[in-house]
Amino acid sequence: MDYEKLTLIEDFKDEIFYNIAYAQAQNLNYEEAINNYSKSIKYNQNDDYTYLNRGNAKFNKNDYLGSVEDFSKSLSINKKSFIAFNNRGVSNFKLGKYQSAIEDFKKSLKINPNNYNTLYNKSLSHYYLKENKKACINLKKSIKLGKEVFKNEYLKICGQI
């Protein structure tokens, strides 16, 4: 199918560029995905999910500042996106902004308290701030939610369970 022809349909340009970008991201072609997410945003600046996905593509290209910017834009549209808070937290973590990451993880957990991945991410941020007791509390919560894979991290950081 010739996607270029589809982009000529004015009423659906945002959706067409979004879908092209999504397919490119699935194929790990993040640069093209970012370009097409940007085109989609040009036609619809109020879609939080497009900013979220462009942020994910930027994250995968190690553009953590750019991903924080997109996750923040997504959150300015949808303040209830626990995924955007979590992903912005991970980007802040990668930037070494551990306290900012913790704040994002707290906001994510306020919306979705049983997200074991967010608890794990929060525990790592506490660990890097040398707040081992807080790290252990979050790791233990993750394990109780059924994520046995975190037991090794718990044993390494906290000792016995």
Residue 55 CA to residue 41 CA, distance in Å, equals 12
Domain boundary assignment for the chain: 11-79, 82-161
pTM over 0.75: yes
- CATH architecture, range 82-161: Alpha Horseshoe (1.25)
Q: What is the pLDDT of residues 67-87, one digit of tens each?
A: 999 999 999 999 999 999 999
Local confidence band at 115 (pLDDT 50, 70, 90 cut-offs): very high
The answer to whether domain 11-79 and domain 82-161 are alike in fold is yes
Coil, strand, or helix at residue 58? helix
* Residue 90 near residue 121 (C-beta atoms within 8 A): yes
Rounded to 5 degrees, what are φ and ψ at 152? -60, -40
pLDDT at 13: 83
Give the pLDDT confidence score for residue 5 in this predicted structure: 56
Superfamily of domain 11-79: Tetratricopeptide repeat domain (1.25.40.10)
Question: Of 31, 38, 82, which Cα lies nearest the Cα of 60?
Answer: 31
Q: Which residues contact 90 (CB under 8 A, 6 or more apart)?
A: 59, 101, 121
Judged by average pLDDT, the poorest of 42-51, 127-136, 137-146 is: 137-146
- Predicted local confidence at residue 84, as pLDDT: 98
> Virtual CA dihedral for 66, 68, 73, 78, nearest 10 degrees?
150
Interval 28-63: pLDDT, tens: 999 999 999 999 999 999 999 999 999 999 999 999
Asked whether the beta carbons of 95 and 121 are under 8 A apart, the reply is no
Degrees to nearest 5, angle at CA 103 with 87 and 97? 75
Distance CA 9, CA 84 (A): 30
Mean pLDDT within 96-117: 96
- Work out the mean pLDDT of the chain and round it to a whole number: 91
